[in-house]
Each structure stands twice: as structure tokens, then as C-alpha cells.
Amino acid sequence: MKEKTQYENMVGIKEEEETFGRLPIASDDASDDKEWKKHWVGMPEFEQKNNPPYKKLIISFRNEEDYREFAKLISQPLTSKTKSTWYPRLDRDANSLRRWIEIDE
């Protein structure tokens, strides 16, 4: 059976790379380094504290039943996709209500 549809031959044509959902690649140009400073006027200082975990463990389970029992012991939902967790459970919403608000007068 012969095909009736004509196809565009894209061999040798380089398409523009999509950047949707990706961060732009950083430039080595020193002027780009100072561009952000123009927009950072009057903003509060922020310093991220290094807060590493006290201890990390690799835990092995003989079977699924042991895995489920461990999840109950630490009162956390563990699935087959869980790769790590915090104990006690890390509260990711602890600072969610903190916002920088500036009132225009």
C-alpha cells in the first residue's frame, strides 16, 4: 500500500531549543552578575544557615510487612517510591504564612 500523506523532511534543519520550564543558562559575563543588584535595592538581607541533618541512616527491610511496620512506628506514610524522610516528620508548612508585606502610604 502506498502512503498518501506527504511528510516534511526536517533533515539538516536545526530547530530552536525550547526553554519553557527551564532556567536560562548562566553567563560568564561579569555585567550579568551586577544586573540583579539593580532590582535588589531596599530588600532585606538574607543569609541561609547551613542546617545539615545530625545523622543519616540506610535502613534495609527483609520484606514489605517489616517496611509497613516501620512506617507505623515512625507515624509517617512511606510508599514504594519513598527515598528519604525526616524524623520527626519535617513540617514543610511551618513558614508558609510568613510573607514580606510593604504598605504603600
Do 67 and 61 touch, CB atoms closer than 8 A? yes
pLDDT at 45: 80
User: Which residues of the chain are modeled with pLDDT < 70?
Assistant: 1-33, 105
The ranges assigned to domains in the chain are 55-89
Residue-wise pLDDT for 83-101, tens only, equals 999 888 887 777 777 777 7
pLDDT at 59: 93
Give the separation between CA 52 and CA 63, rounded to whole angstroms: 30
First CA to last CA distance, the chain: 76
Contacts of 67 by beta carbon, 8 Å cutoff, 6+ apart = 61, 78
Handedness of CA 23, 27, 31, 34 (dihedral sign): positive
DSSP string computed for 13-36: PPPPPP-TTSPPPPP--HHHHHHH
pLDDT at 57: 92
pLDDT at 69: 96
pLDDT at 97: 72
Phi and psi torsions of 102, nearest 5°: -120, 125
